[in-house]
Amino acid sequence: MKLKKLFKEIFRPLSQLKHFVRRKYLGMTRTEYKFLRSAFARLRYVELHEDGKIAMPYLETYLTRGCNLKCDYCSHHNPFRSGVEPQEVLLHSFEEWGKRLKPEKFALLGGEPLLHPNFAELVLAARKHFPDSVISITTNGLLLPKISGEALESFNRADRIVFLVSDHLGTPQFKEMLDRQVKRFKPLDGVSLTIEPFFKRWKTLHLHNENGEAIPANSDPKTAFRHCHSNLCRNILGDKLSFCSVLTNTACAYNEGAIRKEWKIALSHKPMTLTNTQEEIFAYIEERVQPVCSMCPGHLKSVEPKQLSLEEVRRIKKAA
Protein backbone atom coordinates (compact mmCIF):
# COMPACT_ATOMS: atom_id res chain seq x y z
CA MET A 1 0.00 0.00 0.00
CA LYS A 2 2.85 2.37 0.81
CA LEU A 3 4.44 1.65 -2.58
CA LYS A 4 1.14 2.33 -4.33
CA LYS A 5 0.77 5.62 -2.48
CA LEU A 6 4.34 6.56 -3.41
CA PHE A 7 3.65 5.96 -7.11
CA LYS A 8 0.55 8.15 -6.87
CA GLU A 9 2.56 10.98 -5.35
CA ILE A 10 5.18 10.70 -8.10
CA PHE A 11 2.82 10.53 -11.06
CA ARG A 12 0.08 12.93 -9.88
CA PRO A 13 2.03 16.07 -10.98
CA LEU A 14 2.61 14.52 -14.41
CA SER A 15 -1.09 13.82 -14.79
CA GLN A 16 -1.95 17.36 -13.70
CA LEU A 17 0.55 18.75 -16.21
CA LYS A 18 -1.00 16.66 -19.00
CA HIS A 19 -4.50 18.00 -18.27
CA PHE A 20 -3.17 21.58 -17.96
CA VAL A 21 -1.68 21.30 -21.46
CA ARG A 22 -4.87 19.69 -22.73
CA ARG A 23 -7.02 22.59 -21.48
CA LYS A 24 -4.75 25.58 -22.05
CA TYR A 25 -2.91 24.74 -25.27
CA LEU A 26 -5.11 22.16 -27.00
CA GLY A 27 -8.39 23.64 -25.80
CA MET A 28 -9.97 20.20 -25.44
CA THR A 29 -12.36 18.76 -22.91
CA ARG A 30 -11.41 15.46 -21.32
CA THR A 31 -13.85 13.59 -23.59
CA GLU A 32 -12.42 15.20 -26.75
CA TYR A 33 -8.87 14.43 -25.65
CA LYS A 34 -9.64 10.78 -24.91
CA PHE A 35 -11.42 10.36 -28.23
CA LEU A 36 -8.61 11.87 -30.31
CA ARG A 37 -5.92 9.99 -28.40
CA SER A 38 -7.69 6.66 -28.92
CA ALA A 39 -8.53 7.46 -32.55
CA PHE A 40 -4.92 8.36 -33.41
CA ALA A 41 -3.76 5.21 -31.65
CA ARG A 42 -6.09 3.17 -33.84
CA LEU A 43 -5.42 4.73 -37.24
CA ARG A 44 -4.20 1.29 -38.28
CA TYR A 45 -7.71 0.16 -37.39
CA VAL A 46 -8.96 1.58 -40.71
CA GLU A 47 -9.01 -1.64 -42.68
CA LEU A 48 -11.00 -3.50 -45.30
CA HIS A 49 -12.71 -6.49 -43.71
CA GLU A 50 -13.36 -9.84 -45.34
CA ASP A 51 -17.07 -8.99 -45.34
CA GLY A 52 -16.25 -6.06 -47.64
CA LYS A 53 -16.94 -3.34 -45.05
CA ILE A 54 -14.39 -0.68 -44.09
CA ALA A 55 -13.70 -0.67 -40.35
CA MET A 56 -12.92 2.77 -38.94
CA PRO A 57 -12.84 4.48 -35.53
CA TYR A 58 -15.50 7.15 -36.08
CA LEU A 59 -18.25 8.29 -38.45
CA GLU A 60 -20.88 10.98 -38.08
CA THR A 61 -23.92 12.57 -39.70
CA TYR A 62 -26.20 15.44 -38.82
CA LEU A 63 -29.97 15.22 -38.44
CA THR A 64 -30.83 18.93 -38.34
CA ARG A 65 -29.56 22.19 -39.81
CA GLY A 66 -31.05 24.48 -37.18
CA CYS A 67 -30.58 24.69 -33.42
CA ASN A 68 -32.51 26.03 -30.42
CA LEU A 69 -29.38 27.91 -29.29
CA LYS A 70 -27.57 30.66 -31.21
CA CYS A 71 -23.95 30.04 -30.22
CA ASP A 72 -21.50 32.57 -31.59
CA TYR A 73 -18.57 30.82 -33.34
CA CYS A 74 -20.68 27.73 -34.09
CA SER A 75 -18.54 25.63 -36.45
CA HIS A 76 -21.65 24.38 -38.28
CA HIS A 77 -23.11 27.89 -38.89
CA ASN A 78 -26.33 26.72 -37.23
CA PRO A 79 -27.48 30.15 -35.92
CA PHE A 80 -28.06 31.15 -39.55
CA ARG A 81 -29.72 27.93 -40.70
CA SER A 82 -33.03 26.22 -40.06
CA GLY A 83 -34.89 23.01 -40.73
CA VAL A 84 -34.07 19.32 -40.53
CA GLU A 85 -32.73 16.73 -42.92
CA PRO A 86 -35.59 14.70 -44.48
CA GLN A 87 -36.13 11.36 -42.76
CA GLU A 88 -36.09 9.46 -46.06
CA VAL A 89 -32.67 10.95 -46.95
CA LEU A 90 -31.22 9.95 -43.59
CA LEU A 91 -32.69 6.44 -43.67
CA HIS A 92 -31.32 5.91 -47.18
CA SER A 93 -27.93 7.18 -46.03
CA PHE A 94 -27.87 4.86 -43.00
CA GLU A 95 -28.91 1.84 -45.04
CA GLU A 96 -26.50 2.32 -47.94
CA TRP A 97 -23.43 3.45 -45.99
CA GLY A 98 -24.15 0.83 -43.32
CA LYS A 99 -23.49 -1.80 -45.99
CA ARG A 100 -20.03 -0.35 -46.67
CA LEU A 101 -18.71 1.18 -43.43
CA LYS A 102 -18.22 -0.27 -39.95
CA PRO A 103 -17.38 2.57 -37.52
CA GLU A 104 -16.58 1.91 -33.90
CA LYS A 105 -18.71 4.97 -33.07
CA PHE A 106 -21.48 6.47 -35.19
CA ALA A 107 -22.44 9.99 -34.04
CA LEU A 108 -25.72 11.81 -34.69
CA LEU A 109 -25.18 15.57 -34.65
CA GLY A 110 -26.92 18.84 -35.56
CA GLY A 111 -27.77 21.61 -35.25
CA GLU A 112 -29.66 20.14 -32.35
CA PRO A 113 -30.51 16.51 -33.23
CA LEU A 114 -33.39 16.30 -30.73
CA LEU A 115 -35.27 18.91 -32.81
CA HIS A 116 -35.88 16.28 -35.50
CA PRO A 117 -39.52 15.14 -35.31
CA ASN A 118 -38.42 11.56 -36.07
CA PHE A 119 -35.49 11.55 -33.67
CA ALA A 120 -36.34 8.29 -31.88
CA GLU A 121 -36.92 6.40 -35.14
CA LEU A 122 -33.61 7.68 -36.54
CA VAL A 123 -31.67 6.54 -33.46
CA LEU A 124 -33.13 3.04 -33.80
CA ALA A 125 -32.47 3.06 -37.55
CA ALA A 126 -28.84 3.97 -36.86
CA ARG A 127 -28.62 1.01 -34.49
CA LYS A 128 -30.18 -1.29 -37.11
CA HIS A 129 -27.82 -0.34 -39.93
CA PHE A 130 -24.68 0.06 -37.78
CA PRO A 131 -25.17 -2.93 -35.42
CA ASP A 132 -21.55 -3.08 -34.27
CA SER A 133 -21.21 0.65 -33.49
CA VAL A 134 -21.75 2.72 -30.38
CA ILE A 135 -24.49 5.20 -31.33
CA SER A 136 -23.61 8.64 -29.97
CA ILE A 137 -25.92 11.69 -29.84
CA THR A 138 -24.38 15.13 -29.29
CA THR A 139 -26.98 17.50 -27.85
CA ASN A 140 -27.20 20.76 -25.91
CA GLY A 141 -29.54 18.94 -23.51
CA LEU A 142 -32.42 21.41 -23.54
CA LEU A 143 -34.85 18.87 -25.01
CA LEU A 144 -33.83 15.85 -22.94
CA PRO A 145 -37.02 16.12 -20.80
CA LYS A 146 -39.06 15.77 -24.01
CA ILE A 147 -37.74 12.25 -24.67
CA SER A 148 -40.58 9.94 -23.71
CA GLY A 149 -40.17 7.04 -21.33
CA GLU A 150 -41.17 4.72 -24.18
CA ALA A 151 -38.38 6.10 -26.39
CA LEU A 152 -35.83 5.74 -23.59
CA GLU A 153 -36.85 2.13 -23.07
CA SER A 154 -36.44 1.43 -26.78
CA PHE A 155 -32.96 3.01 -26.69
CA ASN A 156 -32.14 0.88 -23.66
CA ARG A 157 -33.13 -2.28 -25.53
CA ALA A 158 -31.12 -1.15 -28.57
CA ASP A 159 -28.08 -0.92 -26.24
CA ARG A 160 -24.85 1.12 -26.50
CA ILE A 161 -26.63 4.47 -26.97
CA VAL A 162 -24.62 7.42 -25.61
CA PHE A 163 -25.91 10.97 -25.08
CA LEU A 164 -23.15 13.60 -24.94
CA VAL A 165 -24.50 16.85 -23.52
CA SER A 166 -22.61 20.04 -24.42
CA ASP A 167 -23.60 22.45 -21.65
CA HIS A 168 -23.40 25.87 -23.33
CA LEU A 169 -25.40 27.69 -20.62
CA GLY A 170 -24.03 26.77 -17.20
CA THR A 171 -26.96 28.34 -15.34
CA PRO A 172 -28.24 26.95 -12.01
CA GLN A 173 -31.65 26.23 -13.57
CA PHE A 174 -30.09 24.28 -16.43
CA LYS A 175 -27.83 22.35 -14.06
CA GLU A 176 -30.85 21.43 -11.95
CA MET A 177 -32.63 20.11 -15.05
CA LEU A 178 -29.56 18.10 -16.08
CA ASP A 179 -29.30 16.61 -12.60
CA ARG A 180 -32.88 15.34 -12.97
CA GLN A 181 -32.00 13.81 -16.34
CA VAL A 182 -28.91 12.10 -14.89
CA LYS A 183 -31.15 10.41 -12.30
CA ARG A 184 -33.59 9.45 -15.08
CA PHE A 185 -30.87 7.84 -17.20
CA LYS A 186 -29.01 6.16 -14.32
CA PRO A 187 -31.13 2.97 -14.04
CA LEU A 188 -30.67 2.24 -17.77
CA ASP A 189 -27.93 -0.23 -18.68
CA GLY A 190 -28.05 0.36 -22.45
CA VAL A 191 -28.08 4.19 -22.41
CA SER A 192 -25.61 6.61 -20.85
CA LEU A 193 -25.49 10.38 -20.33
CA THR A 194 -22.26 12.41 -20.21
CA ILE A 195 -22.09 16.18 -19.62
CA GLU A 196 -19.30 18.51 -20.78
CA PRO A 197 -19.19 22.12 -19.45
CA PHE A 198 -18.71 24.00 -22.71
CA PHE A 199 -19.95 27.23 -21.09
CA LYS A 200 -16.48 27.60 -19.52
CA ARG A 201 -14.60 28.08 -22.78
CA TRP A 202 -14.96 27.76 -26.53
CA LYS A 203 -12.41 27.23 -29.24
CA THR A 204 -13.30 28.84 -32.54
CA LEU A 205 -12.85 27.13 -35.90
CA HIS A 206 -13.64 30.40 -37.73
CA LEU A 207 -12.21 33.87 -37.95
CA HIS A 208 -14.58 36.84 -37.77
CA ASN A 209 -14.48 40.21 -39.51
CA GLU A 210 -15.24 43.54 -37.85
CA ASN A 211 -19.00 42.98 -38.37
CA GLY A 212 -18.98 39.67 -36.51
CA GLU A 213 -19.36 37.57 -39.66
CA ALA A 214 -17.49 34.27 -39.97
CA ILE A 215 -14.87 34.29 -42.73
CA PRO A 216 -12.37 31.67 -43.98
CA ALA A 217 -8.94 31.77 -42.35
CA ASN A 218 -6.85 31.15 -45.48
CA SER A 219 -4.31 29.36 -43.30
CA ASP A 220 -1.67 26.74 -44.06
CA PRO A 221 -3.66 23.49 -44.61
CA LYS A 222 -1.10 21.33 -42.80
CA THR A 223 -1.12 23.55 -39.71
CA ALA A 224 -4.91 23.78 -39.72
CA PHE A 225 -5.26 20.00 -40.01
CA ARG A 226 -2.82 19.42 -37.17
CA HIS A 227 -4.84 21.63 -34.78
CA CYS A 228 -8.31 20.59 -35.97
CA HIS A 229 -10.69 18.71 -33.66
CA SER A 230 -12.50 17.27 -36.69
CA ASN A 231 -9.62 15.88 -38.70
CA LEU A 232 -10.71 12.29 -38.09
CA CYS A 233 -14.45 12.94 -38.32
CA ARG A 234 -15.66 11.56 -41.63
CA ASN A 235 -19.25 12.54 -42.34
CA ILE A 236 -22.10 10.98 -44.31
CA LEU A 237 -25.22 12.67 -45.67
CA GLY A 238 -27.38 11.16 -48.40
CA ASP A 239 -25.12 9.42 -50.90
CA LYS A 240 -22.03 11.48 -49.95
CA LEU A 241 -19.11 10.72 -47.64
CA SER A 242 -17.24 13.92 -46.76
CA PHE A 243 -13.94 14.66 -45.06
CA CYS A 244 -15.47 16.27 -41.95
CA SER A 245 -18.73 17.71 -40.60
CA VAL A 246 -17.37 21.28 -40.62
CA LEU A 247 -16.77 20.98 -44.36
CA THR A 248 -20.18 19.38 -44.99
CA ASN A 249 -22.09 21.99 -42.99
CA THR A 250 -20.14 24.89 -44.47
CA ALA A 251 -20.86 23.71 -48.02
CA CYS A 252 -24.56 23.27 -47.22
CA ALA A 253 -24.78 26.65 -45.45
CA TYR A 254 -23.16 28.30 -48.48
CA ASN A 255 -25.63 26.66 -50.87
CA GLU A 256 -28.48 27.85 -48.63
CA GLY A 257 -27.20 31.45 -48.83
CA ALA A 258 -26.70 31.54 -45.05
CA ILE A 259 -23.02 32.58 -45.04
CA ARG A 260 -20.67 34.87 -46.96
CA LYS A 261 -19.55 34.22 -50.54
CA GLU A 262 -15.94 33.65 -49.42
CA TRP A 263 -17.06 30.26 -48.09
CA LYS A 264 -17.46 28.99 -51.65
CA ILE A 265 -14.06 27.39 -51.02
CA ALA A 266 -15.96 24.55 -49.27
CA LEU A 267 -17.42 23.54 -52.65
CA SER A 268 -13.94 22.93 -54.07
CA HIS A 269 -13.69 19.64 -52.16
CA LYS A 270 -15.20 16.63 -53.89
CA PRO A 271 -16.62 14.03 -51.48
CA MET A 272 -16.91 10.32 -52.11
CA THR A 273 -20.25 8.92 -53.24
CA LEU A 274 -21.91 5.51 -53.28
CA THR A 275 -20.69 5.11 -56.86
CA ASN A 276 -17.04 4.99 -55.70
CA THR A 277 -15.36 1.63 -55.13
CA GLN A 278 -14.48 0.37 -51.67
CA GLU A 279 -10.79 0.81 -52.51
CA GLU A 280 -11.36 4.48 -53.42
CA ILE A 281 -13.40 5.08 -50.26
CA PHE A 282 -10.78 3.33 -48.12
CA ALA A 283 -8.02 5.55 -49.54
CA TYR A 284 -10.18 8.65 -48.96
CA ILE A 285 -10.84 7.77 -45.31
CA GLU A 286 -7.11 7.34 -44.72
CA GLU A 287 -6.22 10.70 -46.29
CA ARG A 288 -4.95 13.45 -44.01
CA VAL A 289 -4.43 17.05 -45.14
CA GLN A 290 -6.79 18.50 -47.77
CA PRO A 291 -6.29 21.85 -49.57
CA VAL A 292 -9.71 22.95 -48.27
CA CYS A 293 -8.39 22.66 -44.69
CA SER A 294 -7.07 26.19 -45.30
CA MET A 295 -10.53 27.58 -44.53
CA CYS A 296 -9.98 26.76 -40.83
CA PRO A 297 -7.44 28.60 -38.64
CA GLY A 298 -3.93 27.28 -38.06
CA HIS A 299 -4.28 27.85 -34.32
CA LEU A 300 -7.51 27.56 -32.36
CA LYS A 301 -8.35 30.67 -30.36
CA SER A 302 -10.14 30.67 -27.00
CA VAL A 303 -13.22 32.90 -27.02
CA GLU A 304 -15.80 33.95 -24.46
CA PRO A 305 -19.01 31.90 -24.71
CA LYS A 306 -21.82 34.01 -26.14
CA GLN A 307 -25.35 33.53 -27.41
CA LEU A 308 -26.26 35.71 -30.39
CA SER A 309 -29.42 37.78 -30.17
CA LEU A 310 -32.06 37.43 -32.87
CA GLU A 311 -31.14 40.93 -34.07
CA GLU A 312 -27.50 39.89 -34.47
CA VAL A 313 -28.50 36.73 -36.35
CA ARG A 314 -30.71 38.73 -38.74
CA ARG A 315 -28.01 41.37 -39.32
CA ILE A 316 -25.24 38.84 -40.03
CA LYS A 317 -27.47 36.68 -42.23
CA LYS A 318 -28.63 39.73 -44.19
CA ALA A 319 -25.00 40.79 -44.78
CA ALA A 320 -24.24 37.34 -46.23
State the Cα–Cα distance between residues 135 and 152, nearest whole angstrom: 14
Beta strand extents in 167-264 (DSSP E only): 191-196, 202-204, 207-208, 214-215, 234-237, 240-242
pLDDT at 42: 47
What DSSP string runs through 140-154?
-STTGGGS-HHHHHH
Beta strand extents in the chain (DSSP E only): 47-48, 54-62, 101-109, 134-139, 161-166, 191-196, 202-204, 207-208, 214-215, 234-237, 240-242, 272-273, 301-303
In one-letter notation, the amino acid at residue 162 is V
Cα angle 291-297-212, degrees, rounded to a multiple of 5: 120
92 three-class SS: helix
Beta bridge partners of 106: 59, 135
User: pTM for this structure?
Assistant: 0.84
Q: Where are the domains positioned within the chain?
A: 40-319
State the Cα–Cα distance between residues 237 and 88, nearest whole angstrom: 11
Chain Cα centroid distance, residue 42: 19
| Tens-digit pLDDT string for the chain (320 aa) | 455 455 555 555 555 565 555 544 445 555 555 555 555 544 447 888 888 899 999 999 999 999 999 988 888 999 999 999 999 999 999 999 999 999 999 999 999 999 999 999 999 999 999 999 999 999 999 999 999 999 999 999 999 999 999 888 888 999 999 999 999 999 999 999 999 887 677 778 888 888 888 899 999 999 999 888 778 889 999 999 999 989 999 999 999 999 999 999 999 999 999 999 999 999 999 988 999 999 999 888 888 788 889 898 888 888 87
pLDDT at 206: 82
pLDDT at 29: 56
State phi, psi for 47 to the nearest 5 degrees.
-150, 160
Q: What class, spelled out in words, does domain 40-319 have in CATH? A: alpha beta
For residue 77, give the nearest of 87, 86, 67 by alpha carbon.
Answer: 67
pLDDT at 248: 92
